[in-house]
Structures are given as structure tokens and as C-alpha cells.
């Protein structure tokens, strides 16, 4: 199983003048993740003041120049709000810079700020994504593209350059909890990245079964239908230290986002339940987190990738220490199948 980190490039809360330093430190953490043997690092895409990831391929390209082996991916690319031609060109260029380490996770995202920003209609939410995904996959498959759609001018025998370093640039489909999204990924034979940030992880098994059934019906092998899991997590030397570090920022962030969406404030009791044996949070010491990842994998019928999302107001030093523990302790235990 591949183990990695996803970041939304959190902006410092004290001063916008520190944004530059925050990005420098993010690149240092990606370099550290490469050094300690993690397999993948992803950068999200948001259009909010608290995140600095509105141009993720620029951050990934900067990271490519400082790393040697780690895979560099989006987490996720908001394809509904993007031109698939430019998405492909950006990631093909990243793939050339990194000599074959680029991947794309495409999705619709959990926020909608990109729609008014780019003049899009929320009523076209699913239709936009479906059409743009179709075009992106055609560009990946063909150097010369013939394509017609509703939301973009047609392409007639149009060459798309540059081509990536890899023969077939990996494209994953990032999903939340919509059954149609799982089925679509299966029908297209795309690897699936499941974001589980709340509830009990095993409850996603029926949706993953839908994905695998749709994929096998479409003629794809079980090996082609990879499943990754993205969850909130943080690792420290002890469980108590991990919770003390992580909970305050987690509570502040999700209470603020919840207020926008009409949800009640985060409570410590709710956090503890989410961080229990079946819950989606993975906050604790290395051995218990490795065991929880393996249990999640078993409950979901086997996963090939797990990524931690740690943006919760933590300092660069604490995030760096956590990355080091994940790379040197959690990842080896997971890969050796050490279940406690």
C-alpha cells in the first residue's frame, strides 16, 4: 500500500505577510516526505482565504525540482471549473519536470466558490464535470483530438502539447459519497480516491462494491480498479500528544466551515467518537494508526493508497515531525502488515 500526505496549503492566521513563508515551509515538508520514504504528496485546490492552493501545479512543479522519487498529485483538481486542455498541459509539463512522477486526481470538490469565480452555473454541476472528464480522457488517449461538447468550443483534429513523460498519465477520480460517482469511476476504469472525513469508514464498502461491480461489468480487471483512501489524520509519539496537538485546530476549522453549512459546533465528544476504532479520523501514535489503516483496508475490501490530510492549524515543526513518524514508523508497519 502506498502511504502519503495531502495538503491544502493552509494560510497562516496571524498575517498575510507570512504566506510566502508558509509556502516555503510546505515545500520543505514535501522534500522531507520524499526523504523519509513516503510514496505520494498531493496538493488540493481551493479558492478561499484560508488556503494557498489555488495554483496547485505551480506548487507541485516547485516540489518536483526538490524531490527525487515521491509521486506528486492533485488532491483534487476541480475539473468542473477548469479547461481540460490546460489541465492536461499543466500536468504533462509537471510530468516532464519530475520525469514521470505526476498524477491527477480529478473531482468536483466540497466547496463551490469556483463557480461564481469562473462564471459557471451551479445548475450545471454534474453535467460540467462529466463533459470535461470525457475531454480530459480523450486528450490523454490521443495526441490529435476531435471533440464536441456543450460548454466549450469544439476541437477538430487539434494537437495537444506537450505530451507527458509517462505513456499514460495517471488520472484518478476523487469522490465523496455519491453512488453515481463511484459507478462512473468503475465504468471508466479509473482508479478511485475516496475522501472519508467523517462517519465510520466501513460504511463506504457498499459504494466501493458498486465501483468494482461497474468496473468489472465494463471489462476491467480487479487489479485495474484501485482504491485509495483520503482521511484526516495526524501522528505523534503518543495518543495524548497527538490529540492535544490536533484537536484545537480541527475544532476551529470544522466549526467555522460547519457554521457556513448550518452544522452544529464541533465537540470533544464527537471528535473522540470520530477518532475511535471505526471512525474516520486517524489521530494517535504510530502503531495504532498503522493498525487502523490496515483495518480500514480490510473493511473496504483492500485499498492501494492511504493519504493523511493534516491541515488543522499545526505548526511547521509539528507537521514535519508527524511526516517523519509516518514515513519512518507508520508506513513500514502498514507495508509489513503489522496489525495490533
CATH number, position 187:
3.20.20.30
Percentage of the chain modeled with pLDDT above 70: 98
Start-end of H helices in the chain: 19-35, 56-64, 84-98, 114-117, 125-141, 179-188, 205-217, 239-261, 268-274, 286-299, 316-325, 331-335
**Domain region containing 212:** 2-335
DSSP 105: E
Name, in order, each residue with C-beta under 8 angstroms of 15's C-beta and a sequence gap of 6 or more: none
Q: Which pLDDT tens digit goes with each residue over 256-312? A: 888 888 888 999 999 999 999 999 999 999 999 999 999 999 999 999 999 999 988
Given this model, what pLDDT does residue 17 score?
61
**Contact criterion met (CB below 8 Å) for 8 and 257:** no
Tell me the HSE value of 180 on the side-chain side, using a 13 A CA sphere: 6
User: In this structure, is the dihedral angle defined by the CA atoms of residues 141, 145, 150 and 151, taken in order, positive or negative?
Assistant: positive
Task: Give 97-101's long-range contacts (Cβ < 8 A, gap of 24+).
Answer: 97/61, 97/64, 97/65, 98/64, 98/67, 98/72, 98/165, 99/165, 100/164, 100/165, 100/166, 101/64, 101/67, 101/69, 101/70, 101/71, 101/72
**Contact criterion met (CB below 8 Å) for 77 and 42:** no
What angle separates helix 125-141 from helix 84-98, to the nearest 10 degrees? 50
340 falls within a domain: no
Count of C-beta atoms within a 10 Å radius of residue 160: 18
Cell (9 digits) for 19: 504566506
Q: What is the mean pLDDT of each run of 10 residues along the chain (340 residues)?
A: 96 78 97 98 95 97 98 96 97 98 93 91 93 98 97 96 98 94 97 94 96 97 94 98 96 88 90 94 98 97 97 93 98 82
Given this model, what pLDDT does residue 33 score?
98
Number of domains in the chain: 1
Amino acid at each position: 500500500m502506498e502511504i502519503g500526505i495531502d495538503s491544502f496549503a493552509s494560510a497562516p492566521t496571524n498575517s498575510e505577510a507570512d504566506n510566502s513563508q508558509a509556502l516555503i515551509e510546505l515545500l520543505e515538508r514535501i522534500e522531507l516526505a520524499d526523504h523519509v520514504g513516503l510514496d505520494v504528496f498531493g496538493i488540493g485546490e481551493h479558492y478561499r482565504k484560508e488556503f494557498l492552493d489555488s495554483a496547485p501545479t505551480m506548487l507541485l512543479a516547485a516540489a518536483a525540482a526538490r524531490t527525487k522519487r515521491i509521486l506528486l498529485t492533485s488532491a483534487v483538481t476541480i475539473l468542473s471549473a477548469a479547461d481540460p486542455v490546460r489541465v492536461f498541459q499543466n500536468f504533462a509539463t509537471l510530468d516532464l519536470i519530475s520525469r514521470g512522477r505526476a498524477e491527477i486526481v480529478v473531482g468536483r470538490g466540497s466547496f463551490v466558490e469556483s463557480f461564481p469565480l469562473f462564471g459557471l452555473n451551479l445548475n450545471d454541476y454534474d453535467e460540467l464535470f462529466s463533459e470535461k472528464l470525457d475531454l480530459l480522457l480523450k486528450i490523454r488517449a490521443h495526441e490529435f483530438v476531435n471533440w464536441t461538447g456543450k460548454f466549450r468550443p469544439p476541437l477538430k483534429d487539434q494537437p495537444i502539447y506537450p505530451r507527458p513523460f509517462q505513456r499514460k498519465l495517471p488520472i484518478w477520480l476523487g469522490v465523496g459519497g455519491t453512488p453515481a460517482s463511484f459507478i462512473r469511476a468503475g465504468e471508466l476504469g479509473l482508479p478511485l480516491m475516496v475522501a472519508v472525513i467523517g462517519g465510520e469508514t466501513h460504511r463506504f464498502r457498499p459504494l466501493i462494491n458498486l465501483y468494482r461491480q461497474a468496473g468489472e461489468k465494463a471489462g476491467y480487471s480487479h487489479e485495474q480498479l484501485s482504491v485509495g483512501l483520503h482521511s484526516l489524520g495526524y501522528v505523534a509519539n503518543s495518543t495524548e500528544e497527538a490529540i492535544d496537538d490536533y484537536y484545537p485546530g480541527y475544532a476551529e476549522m470544522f466549526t467555522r466551515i460547519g457554521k457556513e453549512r448550518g452544522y452544529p459546533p464541533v465537540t470533544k465528544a464527537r471528535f473522540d467518537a470520530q477518532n475511535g476504532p471505526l471512525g474516520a479520523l486517524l489521530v494517535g501514535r504510530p502503531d495504532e494508526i498503522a493498525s487502523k489503516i490496515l483495518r480500514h483496508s480490510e473493511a473496504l475490501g483492500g485499498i492501494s493508497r492511504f493519504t493523511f490530510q493534516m491541515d488543522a492549524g499545526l505548526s511547521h515543526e509539528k507537521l514535519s515531525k508527524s511526516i517523519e513518524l509516518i514515513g519512518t514508523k507508520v508506513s513500514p508497519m502498514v507495508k509489513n502488515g503489522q496489525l495490533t
